[in-house]
Structures are given as structure tokens and as C-alpha cells.
Amino acid sequence: MGRKAAVFRYDISDASQARSLVQSVERELGPINILINNAGINPTKPLEELTNRDWDETIQTNLSSAFYVTQAALVGLRARVWGRIIFISSIAAQTGGVIGPHYAASKAGLIGLAHSYANLLAKEGITANVIAPALIVTEMIASMDSIKPGLLPVGRFGRPDEVSSVAVALASNGFITGQTINVNGGWYMS
């Protein structure tokens, strides 16, 4: 498409690496104006087998990384008085989901994080919103044999482009902030 792309490998569950990632991206590609926090893991285990390590790793990867990267990117966003921050959460944030409390809590935390950023940064031209998808055709869904598309009112799994089109809409709109957009085929309606 004639656009520049680059790959960066950092462990953004570590605050110093998250800062280094933001610096590398800005050095290579220019200022970050639209930030989509999409890091996530979902260690699926029966409730009684969840460990403290599972909890810590999930919270660190799914929630803390979003805070670290956003904080690092905020320096430039605030200087430019414009930005869009989008957090990719999950239906589990609102329903508890089927994966477990560690996953649900990490994804619910993203909603609280977005609300806070939205409130604190709105007057600086920076919006913060959440997309909460469910049952999108990804490796995660493919690995869960028990999940069937008939669970959803629309009768099918969602496509990645149905999530990305919402991200594009949020990135182009300066009036929507502090919102959670559910992209879930009608599973959870708010």
C-alpha cells in the first residue's frame, strides 16, 4: 500500500521496555497520535488451578502494559494537544466471561483506565475509549472447542475487520470519549 511499517519486539509488561518501545516507534515512524493497546494473554485453567503467578502475569500483560505504554505515549500526545487512545478489552470485563477471574479483572481494569484518561485528558484534545469484542475469529477462539457461534444472537463469530472498523471510527472522532463499544454479535447488550 506504499506505507511504511516496522516490527518492534519489547516486553511491554515491563515499564522501562514500554518506554523504550514508544521511543523506538517515534524515532522510526514519527509521532504516535493514535495508540491502540491490544496486548493480551488468556491462560485458561479451571478456577481451582489458577495460581498467583497466573493472576500476576495476566494483570501485568493485559492491564499494566496498557498503562505503561499509554503513560510513555502521553508525553507526545499532550505536547501535540491531540490524540486517540483505544483499549481493546473483552466482553469478559462486563460479564465475567468464561476464561476466569484473572482475565475478566484485567479486561475490566482497561475500562476503568480508559474512563480515567478520558476524564483527565478531554480538554487536551485526547480521547480514550474501549472496544470490548467477543467471539472474533482469532487463534484464541479457534483454541476453544466448546465455544460455538450459535451462542450469539447473530449466529456467527465476528471478523477482525468488524473490530478494526470500530477502531477507525473512534480514531477519527474527537467527540466520543470514555465509551465502551461492544462488538460481540449481541451477546452482551448495554
Helix, strand and coil in the chain, % to nearest 5:
50, 15, 40
Choose the catalytic residue: 68, 103, 117, 188.
103
Task: Tell me whether residue 103 is one of the annotated catalytic residues.
Answer: yes
N- to C-terminal Cα separation, the chain: 37
d(CA 74, CA 49): 38
1 by Cβ neighbours in 10 Å (0-12 / 13-18 / 19+) ranks as exposed
> 114 by DSSP, 3-state: which?
helix
Taking the C-alpha atoms of residue 153 and residue 147, their distance in angstroms, rounded to an integer, is 14
Rounded to whole angstroms, what are the CA distances from 26 to 32, 33, 91? 6, 10, 32
Residue 126 Cα distances to 73, 83, 114, 133, 148, angstroms:
12, 4, 11, 23, 38
Catalytic site positions: 103
